[in-house]
Chains A and B, each alone.
Chain A
């Protein structure tokens, strides 16, 4: 009968010249640099910015409704773009990542292809961005120099995100940090397009300048509620997926810490060798991860050093992060975000970001284990951990999500006066607390919460 699903169009090398590649926007900052890197490599591409209710509706219409929310959104966003009339459908291709793990996310590309046929775009090829050798006929041609560029792009992005997040809540003039982030983003994209900026030497030179620029923004550091965000990768980063969580938290006067995207890359690089160690494998399999991680580590070191030198909080090096999982969850849990998610929660708690939103699509299988399943254990070890799991779903209402987050924040605020500002950024004079954070002492000696 109908076997057309199996005869999907392939992404052939000559399409590099003829096709425009649409990229779903997962992490807005990092992905902009990635897109620039692709352009430099000779591809024409565009980062999708379209959002709105029709994106989700198209997803619901063409994808099994019990599929996870990110799949619905990503596919809905593609279909919405293809239907917008903005693109020449015979010369447009889509790109999607595939991790190749045991989570159903590895199937997104297949769901996308099915949806394209159903929605009447059977000619549109889909490119798979993966490091596991899946989709040999439509995989993105991965060369070592290009991988180096990707890694640099992610690090620059992570750095910009971290700097903005740690500056913006305290800046004296609103908008300074955002403007600076945009300015640097443009600069870096410019470098990348000219095939510059990604060598070890250049990174080493550029990063301190960036950090110094942010450190120079006039700020007034008062204790604010510090919130970490972990979760399923798409919902964690994408404003479309998490109802603009980062901005919501910023509006609630919080400092937000989204652990970097590079952690996930390192996690993906780490797992093959861990798998070989656990179940057996060749010498190469056991040590391939070390080679990649070693390379990444050099860039990681630069970023951490730069953050610390300028008085910002720096994430732990991946090597240390791995150790945090010890005694809580095995690093053998490698589906979805796996042990990394648990380790990130622990890192955040230990670094003072003890209020955590654990974001996942409704019914996310890996997060039953490494997210919700580990909260209890983390609380046993770190009683101060204030973690709230939030489910995202086409119909989960924002009001319910925000209400739960507000509960977490209420508990956080009540602890706030007891906290001292982080030592490395101690301002000379302790600032007065914003109004809502001081509880007027009541007569009758009633318990102040």
Chain B
């Protein structure tokens, strides 16, 4: 007899085979993280019922089984390996296996060079990811599969990691996109993630086998794979048990299963994980803590049926919840409502408003103000009077509560917001980057995954004796840390406490990045639904070493602040524009989606139509679908830079056709190389502006899934060029950039410098053409002539030195001219903005951030807010070299520091830094830029961008910035 046990991240599988390898018994169960107990129970069950004498050949596999197997002295079989053992036996002739588990994704190439690929530590879970997304859609996993089968279309959802995808999905839900379509999009995202992350350029074809829970249970997921890969894969019998069976086949040592179970029990008693001190020393400490927080309350007055005085309504349509507050003229609370948004907030808000009308016949609504993710939608649907960006709403509420507040932290379902207040205005805003978002809802999803209600779950942690130390990184990492802790015998109580502490550490060290409580201020208000969780609240106080104030309406502060904002704007006797009783009763909402098609962006629009004929459009990157007018780009230097580049056209040449990818540094150097090669008699082509489609076509050859998005786009550009039948593709390696005299050195970053090496090593397309990626240095013009002559001679004999010299002179001149044009147009835009009284935003990044697929239209978004946009390289020459606290050694970043320095001297100019996710250099530059700006009394705003296509968070951030700048101005004028 043989027994194989497969302990995965969410499920446990066990098979018993007889001597002819027939399955006598098998089981597939969720273990709800009770790994040791469940394994022990299963072993005893096998021994009692299916294994005569209790002795059998036995081996363990699975991601959670590794440490366990070692600790009880049973052979461990790596799970991918086990899969292969099983597949070779059960399904000979298989070429490729795709297996998705709870948290792992694997591809096994069996034929044509055996290879196994597993997701990196960053790519996050897949089964757990689908579960999380299903929870978000309020569906079970099977319901989601059924729903997806009815989908009409799919949305683009970031496939790089679960947290990113979630930030894409949430806004779709909030904007009223159809659940069916979202469900299908989620499966497609999983497919893209698997292929992009694991195939790495190796084609998947032949006989494909689908294994693991998600692929077994979801038809739609299998079909998405089939369609994307152009194959017809098979999900075999026992597809859930391959790993367990592989372990059984592999097993060659006999064990007494009951004895192993005994050892497991002993192991369970010994806790070996890394822990931290408990949240409360004793019950007494907890009692005092509770008593202290019970003091922070807002006055309430009864909301009688005949209430007729003016009321102000605040609606906070957040990412996961809808909050509504009704207050009187004195800001006392009459009524509150707080509920999950169930995917579409509009009917819920309507229901509450309807009830208010019904139960209070004499209701006099003076103002209605909306805020939060769904601010615009709710405002349009119900004709609210005002919309206010959520950061301002929260500040308004906190200030009302504690006039001298100097620091506010809000942890909601999907985001964290923190702001520092100096002199009565928001002086610094921290929003979580997409990477650590979802912390509040993460706790909830985790609670559910472990089979608890979130309140109950958090309560468990309060008196945990040894909370697990889970670190402070993104939630995907936490998943595997939890897995490890469970394996090491941590109790649910200690895991719960550990998770609460992690949320807090994330907020403090990832978002605020504070090192001491003094830095944050003395008067701290904490708010957001997550702080109702006493474990999180306590962890925050402990971590900061400070007592904080948590209002009893912590989760309603956005709505309360919105109502306050409305109250402040309203004149006496004013009546709100809110839909009246009749209109409210007849309210209807219809949602459809369409491709905009008015320009090349082809935005996926979600169009809400309401009973009164009003519409609300979302998903648009510009105002064109709303106003019908195209953006002229006259206040946008990014637009101008794009035009400059796209104006370089191929000129027929005698020496052949040469292609240059429009990626990374070539966004700046294209004028140089175009001129250079055109002069030499080449016809120079460039790849187009990046697009989603271009990216997807190249994603299969990306070897490192954690490289920055601009670099990964290069693969698509190369692929595009390779289809043109050119004589050569030119993409040089460049250790050094041009020296502009602003820094101590003039390097390119390692990725920009050497990405052509990656292209040469991983893109099969370049083998079909001449791919020229030699090392060149433009920083030494004289040597350049000589060196490039040697290099070109290897590919195109017969180019004379004189020709090269002439071409290079022209190229340098063109480059100088190009940069001068940018500076000139920048100056013009600044002058025009000043004449028109507009703010100037220095949208700082690197040359390739001009690519619309990289910046996701943030440049046009800023101009929509009425500001003018210039680039860092248009003003960096306006300051002299100055000392920095970091080694100033990259040309692009020297410009950034210089631009920041210049901004400090210009009252109407503010800097927003674009940071690509995964850019290691920016870990250094962001701090330095922040310090330069703060030293000059300026706000620092950083926008982290990746594949993410939704601009919701960016919009909030920019609006907060503008609101804070306006407020600063007002205060300055008053003073």
Q: A: which residues have CB within 8 A of B? A: 1-3, 5-6, 53, 60-62, 64-68, 101-104, 106-107, 109-111, 113-114, 118-119, 134, 275, 278-281, 328-330, 332-336, 362-370, 372-377, 383, 389, 391, 393-404, 406-407, 409-411, 436, 439-440, 442, 444, 446-447, 449
Contacts A6-B883, A66-B920, A410-B81 hold; do A102 and B747 have CB atoms under 8 A apart?
Answer: yes
> Does the CB pair B116–A411 fall under 8 Å?
yes
> Does the CB pair A103–B122 fall under 8 Å?
no
Which residues of B are found within 8 Å of A362, using beta-carbon distances?
121-122, 706
Which residues of B are found within 8 Å of A332, using beta-carbon distances?
733, 735, 775
Min CB gap B182→A, angstroms? 29
Which residues of A are found within 8 Å of B757, using beta-carbon distances?
329-330, 333, 369-370, 373-374
Min CB gap B892→A, angstroms? 12
Q: How far is the CA of A398 from the CA of B487 in the complex (A)?
A: 12
> Does the CB pair A102–B753 fall under 8 Å?
yes
Which residues of A are found within 8 Å of B890, using beta-carbon distances?
102
Q: Any chain A CB within 8 A of the CB of B23?
A: no
Closest chain B residue, CB of each to CB of A406: B78
> Does the CB pair A365–B200 fall under 8 Å?
no
Which residues of B are found within 8 Å of A389, using beta-carbon distances?
120, 704
Contacts A102-B749, A119-B515, A333-B733 hold; do A365 and B921 have CB atoms under 8 A apart?
Answer: yes
Which residues of B are found within 8 Å of A104, using beta-carbon distances?
920-921, 923-924
> Does the CB pair B484–A399 fall under 8 Å?
yes
Which residues of B are found within 8 Å of A113, using beta-carbon distances?
885
> Does the CB pair B885–A102 fall under 8 Å?
no
> Which 6 A-B residue pairs are closest in the complex by CB-CB distance?
A280-B783, A279-B777, A102-B747, A395-B471, A395-B473, A66-B923
Which residues of B are found within 8 Å of A2, using beta-carbon distances?
935
Which residues of A are found within 8 Å of B116, using beta-carbon distances?
407, 411
Which residues of B are found within 8 Å of A328, using beta-carbon distances?
761
Q: How far is the CA of A98 from the CA of B725 in the complex (A)?
A: 46
From A110, A407, A440, give the contact of B885 (CB < 8 A): A110
From A365, A373, A391, A446, give the contact of B89 (CB < 8 A): A446
Q: How far is the CA of A66 from the CA of B927 in the complex (A)?
A: 11
Q: Any chain A CB within 8 A of the CB of B625?
A: no
Q: How far is the CA of A134 from the CA of B887 in the complex (A)?
A: 10
Which residues of A are found within 8 Å of B120, using beta-carbon distances?
389, 391
> Does the CB pair A280–B78 fall under 8 Å?
no
Which residues of A are found within 8 Å of B80, using beta-carbon distances?
407, 410
> Does the CB pair A62–B81 fall under 8 Å?
no
Q: Any chain A CB within 8 A of the CB of B198?
A: no
Q: How far is the CA of A210 from the CA of B780 in the complex (A)?
A: 49
Which residues of B are found within 8 Å of A365, using beta-carbon distances?
749-751, 920-921
Min CB gap A20→B, angstroms? 26
Closest chain A residue, CB of each to CB of B886: A110
Min CB gap A60→B, angstroms? 5
Contacts A104-B923, A279-B775 hold; do A369 and B483 have CB atoms under 8 A apart?
Answer: no
Which residues of A are found within 8 Å of B745, using beta-carbon distances?
102
Q: Any chain A CB within 8 A of the CB of B513?
A: yes
Contacts A67-B924, A333-B733 hold; do A447 and B783 have CB atoms under 8 A apart?
Answer: no
> Does the CB pair A400–B121 fall under 8 Å?
yes
Which residues of A are found within 8 Å of B527, using beta-carbon distances?
none
Which residues of A are found within 8 Å of B927, using beta-carbon distances?
64, 114
Min CB gap A62→B, angstroms? 6
Min CB gap B788→A, angstroms? 11
> Does the CB pair A333–B754 fall under 8 Å?
yes
Q: How far is the CA of A22 from the CA of B733 in the complex (A)?
A: 39
Closest chain B residue, CB of each to CB of A135: B887
> Does the CB pair B472–A280 fall under 8 Å?
no
Min CB gap B482→A, angstroms? 9
Besides A114-B885, A278-B775, 13 other A-B contacts (C-beta < 8 A):
A5-B931, A6-B885, A61-B509, A106-B887, A111-B924, A278-B777, A334-B735, A363-B918, A370-B754, A374-B761, A395-B470, A407-B80, A447-B88
Contacts A102-B747, A104-B921, A333-B733 hold; do A396 and B66 have CB atoms under 8 A apart?
Answer: no
Mask: chain B, 97-133; 1 = CB below 8 Å from A; 0 = not: 0000000000000000110101011100000000000
Contacts A104-B921, A369-B755, A372-B703 hold; do A400 and B480 have CB atoms under 8 A apart?
Answer: yes
Closest chain A residue, CB of each to CB of B64: A399
| Among B77, B923, B935, residue most surrounded by chain A Cβ atoms (within 10 Å) | B923
Mask: chain B, 858-890; 1 = CB below 8 Å from A; 0 = not: 000000000000000000000000010111011
A-B contacts, 8 of them at CB < 8 A, read A1-B935, A65-B513, A106-B887, A118-B515, A393-B121, A397-B484, A399-B483, A407-B80
Closest chain B residue, CB of each to CB of A374: B761
Q: Any chain A CB within 8 A of the CB of B779?
A: yes
Q: Any chain A CB within 8 A of the CB of B782?
A: yes
Closest chain B residue, CB of each to CB of A274: B775
Q: How far is the CA of A335 from the CA of B935 in the complex (A)?
A: 32
Closest chain A residue, CB of each to CB of B751: A365
Closest chain A residue, CB of each to CB of B778: A279
Q: Any chain A CB within 8 A of the CB of B459?
A: no
Q: Which of B486-511 contact A (CB under 8 A)?
A: 487, 509-510
Closest chain B residue, CB of each to CB of A61: B515
> Does the CB pair A335–B924 fall under 8 Å?
no
Q: Any chain A CB within 8 A of the CB of B770?
A: no
Which residues of A are found within 8 Å of B754, using beta-carbon distances?
333, 335, 366, 369-370
> Does the CB pair A368–B886 fall under 8 Å?
no
> Does the CB pair A60–B779 fall under 8 Å?
no
> Does the CB pair A279–B750 fall under 8 Å?
no
> Does the CB pair A391–B509 fall under 8 Å?
no
Contacts A110-B886, A369-B754 hold; do A393 and B473 have CB atoms under 8 A apart?
Answer: yes
Closest chain B residue, CB of each to CB of A447: B88
> Does the CB pair B926–A396 fall under 8 Å?
no
From B89, B200, B706, B931, give the contact of A368 (CB < 8 A): B706
Which residues of A are found within 8 Å of B755, using beta-carbon distances?
369
Q: How far is the CA of A393 from the CA of B471 in the complex (A)?
A: 11
> Does the CB pair A366–B775 fall under 8 Å?
no
Which residues of A are found within 8 Å of B515, using beta-carbon distances?
61-62, 118-119
> Does the CB pair B783–A395 fall under 8 Å?
no
Q: How far is the CA of A114 from the CA of B887 in the complex (A)?
A: 12
> Does the CB pair B201–A376 fall under 8 Å?
yes
Which residues of B are found within 8 Å of A334, using beta-carbon distances?
735
> Does the CB pair B703–A67 fall under 8 Å?
no
Contacts A332-B733, A391-B706 hold; do A399 and B63 have CB atoms under 8 A apart?
Answer: yes
Closest chain A residue, CB of each to CB of B779: A279
Which residues of B are found within 8 Å of A402, using beta-carbon distances?
66
Q: How far is the CA of A80 from the CA of B777 in the complex (A)?
A: 43
Contacts A279-B777, A332-B775 hold; do A102 and B750 have CB atoms under 8 A apart?
Answer: yes
Min CB gap A219→B, angstroms? 26
Which residues of A are found within 8 Å of B78, using beta-carbon distances?
403, 406-407, 409-410
Q: How far is the CA of A348 from the CA of B834 in the complex (A)?
A: 63
| Among B510, B755, B889, B934, residue most surrounded by chain A Cβ atoms (within 10 Å) | B889
Which residues of A are found within 8 Å of B477, using beta-carbon distances?
393, 395-397
Contacts A107-B886, A399-B63, A447-B89 hold; do A375 and B924 have CB atoms under 8 A apart?
Answer: no
Closest chain A residue, CB of each to CB of B785: A280
Contacts A114-B885, A376-B703, A407-B116 hold; do A368 and B63 have CB atoms under 8 A apart?
Answer: no
From A60, A275, A281, give the contact of B735 (CB < 8 A): A275
> Does the CB pair B761–A64 fall under 8 Å?
no
> Does the CB pair A396–B121 fall under 8 Å?
yes
From A364, A407, A446, give the contact of B88 (CB < 8 A): A446
Contacts A107-B924, A330-B775, A391-B706 hold; do A102 and B761 have CB atoms under 8 A apart?
Answer: no
Q: Any chain A CB within 8 A of the CB of B406?
A: no
Min CB gap B478→A, angstroms? 8
> Does the CB pair B926–A64 fall under 8 Å?
yes
Q: Any chain A CB within 8 A of the CB of B271?
A: no
Contacts A399-B66, A406-B78 hold; do A369 and B758 have CB atoms under 8 A apart?
Answer: yes
Which residues of B are found within 8 Å of A53, using beta-carbon distances?
274, 469
Which residues of A are found within 8 Å of B89, using beta-carbon distances?
446-447
> Does the CB pair A403–B777 fall under 8 Å?
no
Q: Any chain A CB within 8 A of the CB of B92?
A: yes
